[in-house]
Amino acid sequence: MNVLLADHHPVFRKGIKCVMKDSKSLRFKGKVENGEVLLSSIKKHKPDLLILEMDLPNAHGAGTLREIRSHYPDLKVLIVSYHPEEIYAISAIKAGANGYISKTKSSKEIKRAITTVASGETFLSDPIREVMNSKGKKGKAVTMRYRKLSAREIEVLNLISVGKRNKNIAEALGINEKTVSTYKTRLLKKLNVDNVADLINQSRLLQITG
Protein backbone atom coordinates (compact mmCIF):
# COMPACT_ATOMS: atom_id res chain seq x y z
CA MET A 1 0.00 0.00 0.00
CA ASN A 2 1.43 3.37 -1.08
CA VAL A 3 1.35 6.17 1.50
CA LEU A 4 1.61 9.93 0.95
CA LEU A 5 2.54 11.97 4.02
CA ALA A 6 1.30 15.57 4.00
CA ASP A 7 2.74 17.39 7.00
CA HIS A 8 5.00 20.43 7.22
CA HIS A 9 6.86 19.29 10.37
CA PRO A 10 10.01 17.33 9.40
CA VAL A 11 10.33 15.78 12.87
CA PHE A 12 6.78 14.46 12.77
CA ARG A 13 7.26 13.01 9.29
CA LYS A 14 10.38 11.20 10.45
CA GLY A 15 8.51 10.03 13.54
CA ILE A 16 5.70 8.52 11.46
CA LYS A 17 8.16 6.61 9.30
CA CYS A 18 9.98 5.39 12.40
CA VAL A 19 6.74 4.23 14.02
CA MET A 20 5.79 2.29 10.88
CA LYS A 21 9.26 0.99 9.97
CA ASP A 22 8.32 -2.61 10.77
CA SER A 23 5.30 -2.56 8.49
CA LYS A 24 5.96 -4.55 5.33
CA SER A 25 2.72 -3.50 3.66
CA LEU A 26 3.17 0.29 3.76
CA ARG A 27 5.46 2.13 1.34
CA PHE A 28 6.03 5.86 1.82
CA LYS A 29 6.13 7.29 -1.68
CA GLY A 30 6.28 11.02 -1.12
CA LYS A 31 5.83 13.98 1.17
CA VAL A 32 3.87 17.22 0.97
CA GLU A 33 4.74 20.34 2.95
CA ASN A 34 2.26 22.77 1.42
CA GLY A 35 -1.40 22.61 0.50
CA GLU A 36 -0.76 24.24 -2.87
CA VAL A 37 0.83 21.04 -4.20
CA LEU A 38 -1.36 18.56 -2.34
CA LEU A 39 -3.69 17.58 -5.19
CA SER A 40 -0.88 17.43 -7.75
CA SER A 41 1.14 15.23 -5.38
CA ILE A 42 -1.79 12.85 -4.96
CA LYS A 43 -2.10 12.67 -8.74
CA LYS A 44 1.63 12.04 -9.11
CA HIS A 45 2.15 9.42 -6.38
CA LYS A 46 -1.29 7.73 -6.55
CA PRO A 47 -1.35 6.82 -2.84
CA ASP A 48 -3.76 4.35 -1.29
CA LEU A 49 -3.47 6.16 2.05
CA LEU A 50 -3.02 9.87 2.72
CA ILE A 51 -1.83 10.97 6.17
CA LEU A 52 -2.90 14.61 6.22
CA GLU A 53 -2.02 17.34 8.71
CA MET A 54 -5.09 19.44 9.44
CA ASP A 55 -2.99 22.64 9.62
CA LEU A 56 -1.05 22.08 6.42
CA PRO A 57 0.00 25.55 5.15
CA ASN A 58 -2.21 26.93 2.36
CA ALA A 59 -4.87 24.31 3.00
CA HIS A 60 -8.26 24.92 4.57
CA GLY A 61 -9.01 22.05 6.92
CA ALA A 62 -12.30 20.36 6.16
CA GLY A 63 -12.63 22.30 2.90
CA THR A 64 -9.43 20.73 1.59
CA LEU A 65 -10.61 17.33 2.75
CA ARG A 66 -13.90 17.70 0.91
CA GLU A 67 -12.02 18.72 -2.25
CA ILE A 68 -9.76 15.66 -1.99
CA ARG A 69 -12.78 13.43 -1.50
CA SER A 70 -14.51 14.88 -4.58
CA HIS A 71 -11.50 14.00 -6.78
CA TYR A 72 -10.40 10.79 -5.05
CA PRO A 73 -13.43 9.15 -3.42
CA ASP A 74 -11.62 5.86 -2.73
CA LEU A 75 -8.50 7.37 -1.15
CA LYS A 76 -8.12 6.48 2.54
CA VAL A 77 -7.42 9.62 4.59
CA LEU A 78 -6.14 9.82 8.15
CA ILE A 79 -6.13 13.30 9.70
CA VAL A 80 -3.38 14.17 12.19
CA SER A 81 -3.49 17.34 14.28
CA TYR A 82 -2.62 19.05 17.54
CA HIS A 83 -6.19 20.33 17.81
CA PRO A 84 -8.50 18.80 20.44
CA GLU A 85 -10.21 15.64 19.27
CA GLU A 86 -13.45 16.76 20.94
CA ILE A 87 -14.04 19.31 18.19
CA TYR A 88 -12.18 18.21 15.11
CA ALA A 89 -12.44 14.42 15.11
CA ILE A 90 -16.16 14.31 14.39
CA SER A 91 -16.08 17.21 11.91
CA ALA A 92 -13.20 15.51 10.05
CA ILE A 93 -15.18 12.29 9.74
CA LYS A 94 -18.21 14.26 8.52
CA ALA A 95 -16.04 15.93 5.89
CA GLY A 96 -14.86 12.59 4.55
CA ALA A 97 -11.87 11.46 6.60
CA ASN A 98 -11.47 7.79 7.51
CA GLY A 99 -9.87 8.61 10.82
CA TYR A 100 -8.48 11.25 13.15
CA ILE A 101 -5.55 11.03 15.56
CA SER A 102 -4.03 13.69 17.79
CA LYS A 103 -0.28 14.21 17.43
CA THR A 104 -0.07 14.19 21.21
CA LYS A 105 -1.02 10.50 21.36
CA SER A 106 1.52 7.77 21.99
CA SER A 107 3.43 6.18 19.11
CA LYS A 108 1.51 2.98 19.79
CA GLU A 109 -1.83 4.76 19.38
CA ILE A 110 -0.70 6.57 16.22
CA LYS A 111 0.42 3.26 14.76
CA ARG A 112 -2.98 1.77 15.61
CA ALA A 113 -4.70 4.65 13.84
CA ILE A 114 -2.62 4.24 10.68
CA THR A 115 -3.08 0.47 10.64
CA THR A 116 -6.84 0.77 11.22
CA VAL A 117 -7.40 3.26 8.39
CA ALA A 118 -5.06 1.35 6.06
CA SER A 119 -7.18 -1.75 6.60
CA GLY A 120 -10.29 0.10 5.44
CA GLU A 121 -11.85 0.79 8.83
CA THR A 122 -12.70 4.10 10.50
CA PHE A 123 -10.50 5.23 13.39
CA LEU A 124 -11.54 7.39 16.34
CA SER A 125 -9.85 7.26 19.73
CA ASP A 126 -11.58 5.27 22.44
CA PRO A 127 -12.59 8.36 24.50
CA ILE A 128 -14.32 9.93 21.50
CA ARG A 129 -16.09 6.68 20.66
CA GLU A 130 -17.25 6.39 24.26
CA VAL A 131 -18.73 9.89 24.21
CA MET A 132 -20.49 9.40 20.89
CA ASN A 133 -21.72 5.89 21.65
CA SER A 134 -22.63 6.45 25.26
CA LYS A 135 -26.06 5.17 26.23
CA GLY A 136 -26.25 7.55 29.15
CA LYS A 137 -28.19 10.80 29.23
CA LYS A 138 -25.08 12.95 28.74
CA GLY A 139 -23.85 10.95 25.77
CA LYS A 140 -27.26 11.06 24.11
CA ALA A 141 -27.44 14.83 24.55
CA VAL A 142 -24.01 15.31 22.99
CA THR A 143 -24.85 13.04 20.07
CA MET A 144 -28.20 14.71 19.41
CA ARG A 145 -26.71 18.18 19.41
CA TYR A 146 -23.80 17.16 17.22
CA ARG A 147 -26.24 15.80 14.67
CA LYS A 148 -27.76 19.26 14.35
CA LEU A 149 -24.49 20.77 13.19
CA SER A 150 -22.71 20.44 9.87
CA ALA A 151 -18.94 19.95 9.73
CA ARG A 152 -18.50 23.60 8.73
CA GLU A 153 -20.76 24.81 11.53
CA ILE A 154 -18.67 22.90 14.04
CA GLU A 155 -15.51 24.53 12.65
CA VAL A 156 -17.04 28.00 12.94
CA LEU A 157 -18.24 27.28 16.48
CA ASN A 158 -14.78 26.18 17.54
CA LEU A 159 -13.18 29.33 16.16
CA ILE A 160 -15.81 31.49 17.88
CA SER A 161 -15.08 29.66 21.12
CA VAL A 162 -11.40 30.61 21.03
CA GLY A 163 -12.18 34.28 20.46
CA LYS A 164 -11.79 34.59 16.69
CA ARG A 165 -13.58 37.47 14.95
CA ASN A 166 -15.53 37.11 11.72
CA LYS A 167 -12.57 38.29 9.62
CA ASN A 168 -10.21 35.77 11.25
CA ILE A 169 -12.75 32.96 10.85
CA ALA A 170 -13.24 33.83 7.18
CA GLU A 171 -9.48 33.78 6.55
CA ALA A 172 -9.00 30.51 8.43
CA LEU A 173 -11.75 28.71 6.51
CA GLY A 174 -11.33 30.34 3.11
CA ILE A 175 -14.82 31.88 3.06
CA ASN A 176 -16.12 35.45 3.17
CA GLU A 177 -17.29 37.35 6.25
CA LYS A 178 -20.91 37.39 5.12
CA THR A 179 -20.89 33.59 5.04
CA VAL A 180 -19.42 33.52 8.55
CA SER A 181 -22.32 35.70 9.73
CA THR A 182 -24.75 33.27 8.12
CA TYR A 183 -23.16 30.35 9.97
CA LYS A 184 -23.37 32.27 13.25
CA THR A 185 -27.07 32.85 12.69
CA ARG A 186 -27.60 29.14 12.03
CA LEU A 187 -25.65 28.20 15.16
CA LEU A 188 -27.70 30.55 17.32
CA LYS A 189 -30.88 28.99 15.98
CA LYS A 190 -29.76 25.34 16.12
CA LEU A 191 -28.37 25.63 19.64
CA ASN A 192 -31.27 27.81 20.80
CA VAL A 193 -29.20 30.68 22.19
CA ASP A 194 -29.30 34.47 21.78
CA ASN A 195 -25.68 35.63 21.69
CA VAL A 196 -22.05 34.64 21.16
CA ALA A 197 -21.38 34.25 24.89
CA ASP A 198 -24.11 31.63 25.07
CA LEU A 199 -22.70 29.91 21.98
CA ILE A 200 -19.38 29.54 23.80
CA ASN A 201 -21.15 28.12 26.84
CA GLN A 202 -23.04 25.66 24.64
CA SER A 203 -19.81 24.52 23.01
CA ARG A 204 -18.44 23.67 26.44
CA LEU A 205 -21.58 21.78 27.35
CA LEU A 206 -21.24 19.83 24.12
CA GLN A 207 -17.63 19.02 25.03
CA ILE A 208 -16.61 20.52 21.71
CA THR A 209 -13.76 22.69 22.94
CA GLY A 210 -12.60 20.34 25.66
Q: For position 133, what pLDDT does the model report?
A: 62
Q: For the chain, report the end-to-end CA distance as a whole number of angstroms.
A: 35
Least confident of 37-51, 86-100, 174-188: 86-100
Domain ranges of the chain: 2-129, 134-205
Q: Which CATH number among 3.40.1050.10, 3.40.50.1220, 1.10.10.10, 3.40.50.720 corresponds to the domain 134-205?
A: 1.10.10.10
Please state, in angstroms and rounded to a whole number, the distance separating the CA atoms of residues 171 and 44.
29
Query: Residues 53-92: pLDDT tens digits?
Result: 988 888 877 778 888 988 998 999 999 988 777 667 877 8
Taking the CA of residue 105 as centre, how many other CA atoms within 13 Å lie in the half-sphere pointing to its CB?
A: 23
Q: For position 128, what pLDDT does the model report?
A: 76
Query: Residues 126-151: pLDDT tens digits?
Result: 877 776 665 445 545 555 665 677 87
Query: Residues 160-209: pLDDT tens digits?
Result: 877 788 998 998 888 999 999 999 999 988 887 888 887 777 666 554 44
Record the pTM. 0.68
Q: For position 195, what pLDDT does the model report?
A: 85
* Topology of domain 2-129, CATH: Rossmann fold (3.40.50)
Q: Do the beta carbons of residue 15 and residue 9 sit within 8 Å? A: no
Residue at 23: amino acid letter: S
